[in-house]
Copies of this chain bind each other. A is one copy, B any other.
Amino acid sequence: MTTGPLGDMCWHNGRLARIDEVRIDPTDRGFTLGDGLFETLLWTGREIRFFEDHMARLGHGASQLGLAIPFSIVELENGLVALAQASGLKPAALRLMVTRGVGPRGLKVPDTPLPNVLATIATVPTEFPAVEVRLVDIYRASGAPSARFKTLSYVDNIIALRLAQAMGADDGLMRGPDGSVACGTSANVLIRHGDQWHTPPLEDGALPGIVRGRLIRAGLVTESRIPVADLEMCQAACLTNALVGVRPIHTLNGRPLKAELGLYAGLIAALT
């Protein structure tokens, strides 16, 4: 829902390269098994927004997956900034991915894996219009690495987006283990009840999002279970991720919602 053309250049294992000259090995476990992590970061033209937050999440995911990223945070930052500057794109979405690297047949992690690190960049719009969102019947397990970390195993999100688009919506909301609302397919969801913004807790399948975390820490959003019935009653709702920040939902499950910008002003202000 925020796609732009991909730049010609990428940053691959420590050097800038043309994408069409990069070869991914057919035995790379990112390709064969979705075995890796990624982060999508906003390049403003001057800086990478929330860079430390992204690195903290990536580092946490890597430790849980047992993935040793062969670059320091400074090296990653320098690589991403070099890519962004070489591309000339702004604003732009940087996508940093780390796979386990090549491996033999089977799931077992190689004894001495050599992770594969690739960053690409793509244009993003400067403004994101409000969206129509629908709940779909795709469930997320809370006790699964694919739900707790930003792994390359993203097929559930892809199918959730397809189902929502097939119903004419722009994005889908997925469900947690007990059927309550979890998150969007590439964003978290906030709903407004009374005078308070709510977002599902991680145990209901929400991804530990960068913007979500900042808004919770700022005291502007409360973690609360969101039963499906709440979608019929909430006053307003929005999606949040590191690329778009806060994106109003104008229609939720076919019901028009208030989308006055004033409703979101406090959230947006907390992110700048």
Contacts and interface: CB of A to CB of B under 8 A. Distances in A.
Contact of A107 (B28, B99, B145, B158): B158
Interface footprint category on A: 35 or more
A6 B242 CA distance: 40
A251 interface: no
A143 B34 contact: no
Interface stretch (A18-26, A73-81, A220-228, A231-239): A18-26
Nearest to A26: B22
A161 interface: yes
Interface stretch (A45-53, A134-142, A211-219, A264-272): A134-142
Interface stretch (A125-133, A146-154, A189-197, A254-262): A146-154
Given A31-B30, A34-B153, A141-B140, A105 B122 contact: yes
Q: Which of A65, A142, A153, A161 has the most CB of B within 10 A?
A: A153
A37 to B, nearest CB: 9
Nearest to A3: B106
A177 B175 CA distance: 12
A66 B162 contact: yes
A32 interface: yes
Contacts of A154: 33-35, 107, 153
Contacts of A240: none
A35 B153 CA distance: 8
A27 B145 contact: no
Contact of A27 (B6, B36, B109): B6
B153 A144 contact: no
A107 B152 contact: no
A143 B159 CA distance: 11
